[in-house]
Structure 1
Amino acid sequence: MRATLRYGAGRFQRSAALEATEAYQLPRLIQLEPNLYAASFTLMKMVPARYILRRALDDGRLEPGTVIVETTSGTFGLALAMQGVHLDRRVILVSDPVIDERLYRRLSDLGATVLRVPEGAGERPGGYQAARLELLARVRAEHPATFCPEQYTNPDNPRAYAVAAEHILDTLGPVDCLVGPVGSGGSMCGTATRLRADAPHCQAIGVDTFASVLFGQPDGHRELRGLGMSLMPGNLDHRVFDHVHWCSAPVAYAATRQLHQRHALFMGPTSGAAYVVARWHARRNPGARTVVMLPDEGYRYQDTVYDDGWLAAHHAGVTVPEEPFAVDHPHAARPPWATFAWARRSAAEVAAGEPVGAVPR
């Protein structure tokens, strides 16, 4: 008998066996320190991808012959390609010219078509993300029937994470603090909202990178991929977040290696960025149960983050700072690691308000 995971107000239910894409949804919950737990995903983006596509299938928006199209340069595209195999639907993905080659080969092997925007498109306002949206619109115009999951604006993205939150609650009980990287906003906003249904005091700490517009930084070049944006996603509800941290690429890389060496967790650099923040917070709050979201595994980074020669050539001597620098405005955040008390305010409220600076406790 194949298992199903039921979404809704109650806890999900499982039967005997899971299909491949369904099995990717639930994170492994691993104790890292006495009060710090990792929600470690093989492929976190499978959570919204599967939920969004199954909802579209149920309500007739994904009929046979409909092409699944999306703009993505990361693992959301991988999740869609895997779903395309199970649903027997063609998948076209619009991506950056610098998409990881390992990921590109895997997407192609799954039958997905990957279209890359031209080199230099990232110099325009909105960067590669704006260029990708333009190309996506042209792709949709060329096909009679398409479905776009619209991960940045579709409310089913954050809604999907109820299944992960309920798994955490069933296993650990109420959570005092959730830490995780922010890109589309779906995982942190959706998971934190569901956790607060059981524990309203639960803090949410978002982890971004410098030169990302998500939490008030000016847009610019970002080496650290998988979090941060050049355009503001509709699914990012700033009022969810108590604190925000900005982490540089070198610090994230060093923390990723620490996570592997100390806990044998082979994860990507967005997980490293979240881990360094969560470990710092957990040690400052020993009586609080902290959970950190680790989005995906490290196989795409074997030639970079996990290669000592590459690290020495690009980021020699980088170590993880003992603590972040607290700033009184997002514009003041600078590498290698900074933090700001967001205090569950909207972006407009933060921009218009008096400077607020406090180290999170």
Structure 2
Amino acid sequence: MSLQTAFSEATETYQIPRLIRLAPNLYAACFTLMKMIPARFILRRAEEQGVLGPDTVIVETTSGTFGLALAMQGVHMNRRVVLVSDPVIDERLYRRLVDLGAVVDRVPAAAGAVPGGYQAARLARLAEVKAEHESTFCPEQYSNPDNPRSYAMVAELLLECLGQVDCVVGPVGSGGSMCGTVGNLRTVLPECRAIGVDTHHSVLFGHADGHRELRGLGMSLMPANLDHRIFDQVHWCSASAAYAATRQLHQQHALFMGPSGGAAYLAARWWAAANPSALTVVMLPDEGYRYQDTVYDDGWLRNAGHLDSSLPAEPVQVQDPSRPEGSWTAFDWGRRSYAEVMAGRLDVAQAAR
């Protein structure tokens, strides 16, 4: 075995989740770095297709673990990586990206106050970065269909290990992991339910764009890879509730995961308890090491006003997905398109006048 082959296999292991049983009918798919799945799949397909040449620079807009996966792949594929990110990127992540040789280009802090926020500013800067280099390849995680397509391997693993899967619960950002996993599962299990977990002031499922403390899920711009028709139900979780659930997941199950996974766990635990005859899988995208100074620090939680937050027993069921009410709310999306749900909301509002 060559050294290069050993490196390739090392990154490949990051894609494979551990399946942990949390309750009689609830399993967690625990990833070390879930974003390695689309990053590795997209880059290697691009190389095979000849659009990622030896001197091509990999460029992308990201403030999270997709950038980390790209930087790791850049090392193994011997490619330069330039990442356009937020000024509020996690400092631990930033140091790791730089140590891997990636260039991290942070947009100005003032960009967060304009329409579209940091994500719009990052896209504009990304276009400039592309123009600065002779040859670039952008994975375009928000619109590249290879993102959801890459999660076929997760669906295959769940089917092989669990057989029947009645419900998948997971955080939603680019839309790739949930849409890809559930879409592939439904080719075998068409009744499999999907519960997407978002946060308040994210545009993905009807809220108006605004400040979001909770990272790792939610968006300011609508990604093309998000197929709303996948989802049976949507939950919105506040930062306080997500942090409390993340700590509870660690304290009760010794699973050291990030807060987007904590938010998903909150919704999954509730749904599994309410449906004891159904087997539920919750997607936990990354581990908690980047959050040791925040979510896992009682002093930080206390200063931020999160330490004494109690977890609600169940979500508040809402009839209007555009209203960010309470710390944990849920809406029956019903596998409808965004336009269908929003049109229905307008019809109800007009009838009430």
> Structure 1 residues 94, 85: CA separation in 2 closer, same or farther (over 3 Å shift)?
same
Partner of 2:280: 290
Partner of 2:77: 87
Supply the AA of the counterpart residue of 1:84. G
Q: Deviations over 1:127-167 (max 9, x none)?
A: 00000000000000010000000000000000000011111
Q: CA deviation at 1:17?
A: 10
Q: Distance in 2 between matches of 1:104 and 1:283?
A: 39
1:316 aligns with 2:307: yes
1:332 aligns with 2:323: yes
Supply the AA of the counterpart residue of 2:339. A
Partner of 1:133: 123
1:110 aligns with 2:96: no
Say which of 139, 144, 147 aligns to 2:134.
Answer: 144
Q: Distance in 2 between matches of 1:79 and 1:251?
A: 28
Q: CA deviation at 1:28?
A: 0.4
Q: Distance in 1 between matches of 2:70 and 2:243?
A: 27
Matched-pair contact (CA < 8 Å) for 1:333–1:339: no
Say which of 30, 36, 40 aligns to 1:46.
Answer: 36
1:74 aligns with 2:99: no
Q: Distance in 2 between matches of 1:66 and 1:150?
A: 15
Matched-pair contact (CA < 8 Å) for 2:317–2:329: yes
Matched-pair contact (CA < 8 Å) for 1:212–1:230: yes
Supply the AA of the counterpart residue of 1:239. R
Matched-pair contact (CA < 8 Å) for 1:210–1:335: no
Partner of 2:351: none
Q: CA deviation at 1:329?
A: 1.1
Q: Distance in 2 between matches of 1:331 and 1:190?
A: 25
Q: Deviations over 1:181-208 (max 9, x none)?
A: 0000000000001111111000000000
Matched-pair contact (CA < 8 Å) for 2:201–2:324: no
Structure 2 stretches of 5 or more lacking a match? Answer: 349-353
1:344 aligns with 2:335: yes
Partner of 2:22: 32
Supply the AA of the counterpart residue of 1:345. R
Q: Distance in 1 between matches of 2:37 and 2:54?
A: 23
Supply the AA of the counterpart residue of 2:92. R
User: 2:300 aligns to what SS in structure 1?
Assistant: helix
1:300 aligns with 2:290: yes
Matched-pair contact (CA < 8 Å) for 2:260–2:285: yes
Say which of 135, 151, 161 aligns to 1:171.
Answer: 161
Q: CA deviation at 1:289?
A: 0.3
Partner of 2:263: 273
Q: CA deviation at 1:119?
A: 1.1
Between Structure 1 and Structure 2, how many residues are aligned? 344
Q: Distance in 1 between matches of 2:195 and 2:8?
A: 32
The sequence identity of aligned pairs, in percent, is 72
Q: Distance in 1 between matches of 2:208 and 2:164?
A: 36
1:160 aligns with 2:188: no
Q: Deviations over 1:313-332 (max 9, x none)?
A: 21131011000000001123
Matched-pair contact (CA < 8 Å) for 2:298–2:307: no
Partner of 1:12: none
Supply the AA of the counterpart residue of 2:82. I
Matched-pair contact (CA < 8 Å) for 2:167–2:280: yes
Supply the AA of the counterpart residue of 2:327. P
Partner of 1:124: 114
Matched-pair contact (CA < 8 Å) for 1:185–1:235: yes
Supply the AA of the counterpart residue of 1:70. E
1:183-202 → structure 2 map (5 Å cutoff): 183-202=173-192
1:247 aligns with 2:244: no
Supply the AA of the counterpart residue of 2:333. W
Q: CA deviation at 1:310?
A: 1.0
User: 2:204 aligns to what SS in structure 1?
Assistant: coil
Matched-pair contact (CA < 8 Å) for 1:270–1:295: yes
